[in-house]
Chain A
Amino acid sequence: MLRRFHSLAGLTAALFLLITATTGALLALDPALQRANALVPARGAVSVADVAEKVLLAYPGTEQIERLPSGAVVVYFTQDGQTAADLINPLTGTRLATYQQSAVFAWLKDLHRAFLWDDKGRAGAGIVALLLSVLCVSGVFLLASRAGGWRQLFAPMRSASNGAISPRLHAELARAAALGLLLSALTGSVMSALRFELLPEAAELEADFPQKVAGTAAAPVGTLPALQQTDLVDLHQLIFPSRTDPQDLYALSTHQGSGYVDQATGQWLSYADYGNAAQLQTFIMELHTGETYWWLGLLFGLAALTVPALVITGFQIWWQRRRAMPHLQGNSAVGQADTIMLVGSESNSTWGFANALCEALKHAGCLVHLAPMDQLANHYVKAERLLILTSTYGDGDAPASASQFLQKLQKLPPTLSLPFAVLAFGDRQFCSFCAFADHVTEALQQRQWPQLLATDYVDRQSAATFEHWGVALGNVLGRPLMLHYTPVLPACHGLMLVERQNYGEAVQAPTCVLRFQSAPPGSTLPVFSAGDLVGILPPGNAAPRFYSLASASTDGVLEICVRQQDNGLCSGFLYNLKFGETAAGFIQKNARFKPAAGKSPILLIGAGTGIAPLVGFIRANTARRPIYLYWGGRLATSDFLYQNELNSYLADQRLSQLHVAFSRGAEPAYVQDKLLQDADQIRTLINGNAQIMLCGGRRMATDVATSLNTILAPIALDVATLKKSGRYLEDTY
């Protein structure tokens, strides 16, 4: 809801925000430039009387002296029947330059506050300022929700799992600029509201015009006590009396108040403070323009510079989400359906799975009603089962289309009860993996609805898990389900097999390292680096299988490590691929699984084919940062993947230490056993700011995490803490 509101406000204001922010950023330079050119004596150095006396010598026709917020001093005077204005040196009273407002900045200002369109434009600019305030506030709430709570607001951010950069860039920029933008927008809104009298404007309190003056001969301006007592720093303006009128007065205004000074006695005849309300209004205006606080103005200007990028990335995010919106076709009415499918989705990717399941169910003869989770109804006449497919947002929160589901569930009549199944979508990299789906399952269990099958978890849109779940569901329903999930895939490249090494046949774990070149010959490989994924499409099948890349495109080959699975469609195809034959594949960036920049040590942990990206990282370690590899296989003589290559990296110091464990052989051990043996070293590495990167099967990952928690307990750390700070990265399957 909030997200929709944020998008709508942003889209409405987008074009105007671009203008307002760009001009605002440029205008922020004005006070700083003015300040740089101004000669500003310190407090106590010069009084208003000093300046007035010197100015009058240089400019006999002086009418008014004004100190600009930048500190520059301007004298307005008459010469030959025309008025003019000069910037002067406040120490000598002499001319520095003609005072002229920059035509460029004046034009920019008109564009900024009125879109060059008078009062109507000003009203528009006011509305834009208000929209920007609303965008800032709603945006900060969204940021907190994205981060998984207000406490995590300043934690390092993660990239989107699909590799799209716009969401992260939008969030990072917004987080950096939010405060500056909010202050700019709020002060701008207040200024506009005051101008259009939507807020009551507090008038500056003014001194009464004195009825009686001394009327005797005017004293030299330099001798007037009221002017001598006023520091130049406090001056706003001094208006000289008319030369011909002995009844006239000096009108003196400072930053605190204003009043009248007798031209004969030099005494205040009346004085009034502007009042707190008027001072506050002035402060708001000065905050907005940066006139007085030029450095703050520059900071606001920097914040404003992010707006064009925010507008563009915001638009991209909106567009991507919109494009992924579900198109529901052939949906049965609520009252007719025997199967109710509810979908909880944030970025709409879950809808693709929902549609696939819906099609399969229809094919199996079910009447399916598919709807967002928020459309949970109070009664279902013919429903026999409820299927829920949901993702999780942030730290276990409901995704956008399920924000009201749990409340609605509480209010359902107790008579309603449906057998249910939940399928969770998430990303194991996040601490609260699929937590919302668990909340939903618990809530349904509490209502004592019968559960058709245990909640399953689809990690990073794994089509394999999804199809596996479909088979289990089909068994429960007594109707075989054939799920065909086809994600929208990027364009594929031809990959020709040029090299292979086989391992593991003796231990019933046939595994191979495959190297591909771009096909047809002469074409170039797409850009990738170690740790990214390649999606391979087995012939005649639209569901890709993903493999971690062991090489970078700069190596000239695409290298993966494949273990032939029993009945594995894709692994079988790859394993049996002959030299010169091609496979179709595409690159999926995996920005999260990359070594942190810098020289700090890296602890690589893997098992089986999980070695692939780890070898890639070691191969790319030309800077010779300390890298420690712990890896587990089955039998040293059969499936020691990359044995020769790893030894050569030890020799040339790209790899600092290599620890291998084999589950069969003389001393059977798992990789976590090696870690436990080296607990002291691990603790030292972690204390030295080391980063852990783990790649392998899910079971191995769980076992390693348990062991690491044991190892790290004495230094008051655990895997969850390291994960939060981006020092524990996993790529598991």
Chain B
Amino acid sequence: MKKLFITAEFMLGLCLPNVIQAAEVTITTTLHSYQGDGAYLAIYLTDANGKYNKTLWVAGGKAKYYKHLQDWARGSGLKSTEYDGSTGASVTSGEQLTFKVNIEDALIDAGYLIRVDSAVEDQRDQRVDAELPLTRRGAGTSVAGRGYVKTISYTL
């Protein structure tokens, strides 16, 4: 009995330092006014080399069109486990998308980037429509996109 208690205490001691510290990040993306249907967006994290790390949000109802979010599709391998629970409707012209996501502290100020790929039916796919570094200092700063994204910003 005593032995078991010690073992439990030992394990607890091991685990505690590993409890992940995460920050709640609110990301806001605003689209340009353009002619066409709702845009599909993939908002995800990459490392400093642009290598896919994790999916933050996918906007767009039909998974069969996700391949048009090209870099994200390549990085995530389009595995549904990568984006389950983090999807919503497509974002129409001129609209704003805001969502909250928990990001580990270890990824903040560590050279990681928030990136957006976008696509609209019958129009071109935009790889790296917008990209901005995930830093405490950068919070609240708007960055312009290159394609359908007008601006993107986040708060911590």
Complexed CA–CA distance, A118 and B121 (Å): 12
When the two chains form their complex, are residues B64 and A203 in contact, meaning their CB atoms are under 8 A apart? yes
Interface string of B107-134 (1 = CB under 8 A from A): 0000000000000001110111000000
Q: Which residues of B contact A109 (CB under 8 A)?
A: 122
When the two chains form their complex, are residues A101 and B50 in contact, meaning their CB atoms are under 8 A apart? no
Residue in A78, A201, A209, A244 whose beta carbon sits within 8 Å of that of B146 in the complex: A78
Q: Which of B41-67 contact A (CB under 8 A)?
A: 49-50, 64, 67
Contact of A209 with B74 at beta-carbon distance under 8 Å, contacts A76-B124, A81-B144, A82-B146 already known: yes
Contact of A83 with B146 at beta-carbon distance under 8 Å, contacts A209-B74, A242-B50, A245-B50 already known: yes
Complexed CA–CA distance, A244 and B50 (Å): 10
When the two chains form their complex, are residues B35 and A101 in contact, meaning their CB atoms are under 8 A apart? yes
Q: Is A64 an interface residue (CB 8 A)?
A: yes
Q: Which residues of A contact B67 (CB under 8 A)?
A: 206
Q: Is A38 an interface residue (CB 8 A)?
A: no
Q: How far is the CB of A320 from chain B (nearest CB, A)?
A: 43
Q: Is B36 an interface residue (CB 8 A)?
A: yes
Q: Which residues of B contact A76 (CB under 8 A)?
A: 124
Q: Is the interface of B mostly helix, strand, loop or mixed?
A: loop
Q: Is B138 an interface residue (CB 8 A)?
A: no
Q: Which residues of B contact A118 (CB under 8 A)?
A: 37
Complexed CA–CA distance, A604 and B137 (Å): 102
When the two chains form their complex, are residues B64 and A103 in contact, meaning their CB atoms are under 8 A apart? no
Interface residues on B, range: 10 to 19
Beta-carbon nearest neighbor of A102 in chain B: B35
When the two chains form their complex, are residues A106 and B146 in contact, meaning their CB atoms are under 8 A apart? no
Complexed CA–CA distance, A316 and B37 (Å): 38
Interface size on A, residues (CB 8 A): 24
Complexed CA–CA distance, A83 and B118 (Å): 13
When the two chains form their complex, are residues B123 and A101 in contact, meaning their CB atoms are under 8 A apart? yes
Q: Which residues of A contact B146 (CB under 8 A)?
A: 78, 81-83
Q: Which of A45-87 contact B (CB under 8 A)?
A: 63-64, 66, 76, 78, 81-83, 85
Q: Is A239 an interface residue (CB 8 A)?
A: yes
Complexed CA–CA distance, A82 and B35 (Å): 17
Q: Which residues of B contact A110 (CB under 8 A)?
A: 37
Tell me the total A-B contact number using a CB cutoff of 8 A.
Answer: 34
Beta-carbon nearest neighbor of A99 in chain B: B124
When the two chains form their complex, are residues B124 and A85 in contact, meaning their CB atoms are under 8 A apart? yes
Complexed CA–CA distance, A245 and B74 (Å): 14
Beta-carbon nearest neighbor of B64 in chain A: A201
Complexed CA–CA distance, A63 and B144 (Å): 19
Q: Which residues of A contact B49 (CB under 8 A)?
A: 245
When the two chains form their complex, are residues B144 and A101 in contact, meaning their CB atoms are under 8 A apart? no
Complexed CA–CA distance, A76 and B125 (Å): 10
When the two chains form their complex, are residues A106 and B50 in contact, meaning their CB atoms are under 8 A apart? no
Interface string of B12-52 (1 = CB under 8 A from A): 00000000000000000000000111000000000001100
Q: How far is the CB of B66 from chain A (nearest CB, A)?
A: 11
Complexed CA–CA distance, A239 and B124 (Å): 11
Complexed CA–CA distance, A249 and B123 (Å): 22
When the two chains form their complex, are residues A106 and B36 in contact, meaning their CB atoms are under 8 A apart? yes
Residue in B36, B122, B126 whose beta carbon sits within 8 Å of that of A83 in the complex: B126
Interface string of B71-83 (1 = CB under 8 A from A): 0001000000000
Complexed CA–CA distance, A110 and B121 (Å): 12
Residue in B36, B37, B124 whose beta carbon sits within 8 Å of that of A64 in the complex: B124
Complexed CA–CA distance, A245 and B64 (Å): 28
Beta-carbon nearest neighbor of A195 in chain B: B62
Complexed CA–CA distance, A203 and B78 (Å): 14
Complexed CA–CA distance, A242 and B51 (Å): 12
Q: How far is the CB of A321 from chain B (nearest CB, A)?
A: 43
Q: Which residues of B contact A245 (CB under 8 A)?
A: 49-50
Interface string of A104-129 (1 = CB under 8 A from B): 00100110000000100000000000
Q: Which residues of A contact B37 (CB under 8 A)?
A: 110, 118
Complexed CA–CA distance, A433 and B65 (Å): 61
Contact of A106 with B147 at beta-carbon distance under 8 Å, contacts A83-B126, A101-B122 already known: no
Q: Which residues of A contact B50 (CB under 8 A)?
A: 242, 244-245
Q: Is B151 an interface residue (CB 8 A)?
A: no
Complexed CA–CA distance, A81 and B123 (Å): 19
Complexed CA–CA distance, A273 and B70 (Å): 19
Contact of A83 with B123 at beta-carbon distance under 8 Å, contacts A203-B64, A239-B70 already known: no
Complexed CA–CA distance, A110 and B144 (Å): 29
Complexed CA–CA distance, A242 and B128 (Å): 10
Q: Which residues of B contact A64 (CB under 8 A)?
A: 124
Complexed CA–CA distance, A101 and B34 (Å): 11
Complexed CA–CA distance, A66 and B125 (Å): 11
Q: How far is the CB of A363 from chain B (nearest CB, A)?
A: 70
Q: Which of A209-246 contact B (CB under 8 A)?
A: 209, 239, 242, 244-245
Q: Which residues of B contact A103 (CB under 8 A)?
A: 35
Complexed CA–CA distance, A392 and B86 (Å): 67
Q: Which residues of B contact A81 (CB under 8 A)?
A: 144, 146
Complexed CA–CA distance, A109 and B67 (Å): 24
Complexed CA–CA distance, A244 and B131 (Å): 15
Q: Which residues of B contact A82 (CB under 8 A)?
A: 146
Return 20 A-B CB contacts under 8 Å, by A number: A64-B124, A66-B124, A76-B124, A78-B146, A81-B144, A82-B146, A83-B124, A83-B126, A83-B147, A101-B123, A103-B35, A106-B35, A106-B36, A109-B122, A118-B37, A209-B74, A239-B70, A239-B127, A245-B50, A251-B70
Given contacts A78-B146, A242-B50, 11 further A-B contacts (CB under 8 A): A63-B127, A64-B124, A81-B146, A82-B146, A83-B124, A83-B146, A85-B124, A101-B122, A103-B35, A209-B74, A251-B70
Sorted nearest first, the 5 A-B pairs with minimum C-beta distance are: A83-B146, A83-B147, A106-B35, A76-B124, A209-B74
**Which residues of chain A have a CB within 8 Å of any CB of chain B?**
63-64, 66, 76, 78, 81-83, 85, 101, 103, 106, 109-110, 118, 201, 203, 206, 209, 239, 242, 244-245, 251
